[in-house]
Amino acid sequence: MPHLHLEYTANLPGLAVEKTLLRLNNVLMASGQFGSEFDIKSRAVKVETFQVGTSLSPRGFIAVKLSLLSGRSPQVKTQLSESLLAALQDQCEWPADIQVQLSVLLVDMDRDSYSKVVIG
């Protein structure tokens, strides 16, 4: 906890994905909401097959999902979401000819049935 998933469409070659993940993890740590930096598990997936809307205009997206153990306040969640979105906007020289949608979603994970172990 937390888990972060980042999906990005394949038409955004200007996105430095690994650097972006590190940046987002630093944003999460700076929020003061998480005790240990190594708890933050983030991954990125390039989306090769996608369709935005019903037109064939060049479009792309980056979708971030942050999953937290349940119990945080709506205010905290909104703040985390906005902080991630703000950081994300700085991470790419956005292509001039593609409409890109950036979004951040927060998801509660059921605390009672979440189980975890650390090896090594």
Where does this chain bind a copy of itself (CB under 8 A)?
1, 3, 7, 9, 17-18, 21-22, 25-26, 29, 36-47, 49-55, 57, 59, 61, 63, 67, 74, 77-78, 80-82, 84-85, 89, 94-110, 112-120
Phi–psi pair at 10, nearest 5 degrees: -70, -5
Closest CB 109 distance from a copy of itself, rounded Å: 5
Residues with Cβ < 8 Å from 108, sequence gap 6 or more? 67, 68, 69, 70
Closest CB 71 distance from a copy of itself, rounded Å: 14
Closest CB 42 distance from a copy of itself, rounded Å: 5
Three-class SS state of 46 = strand
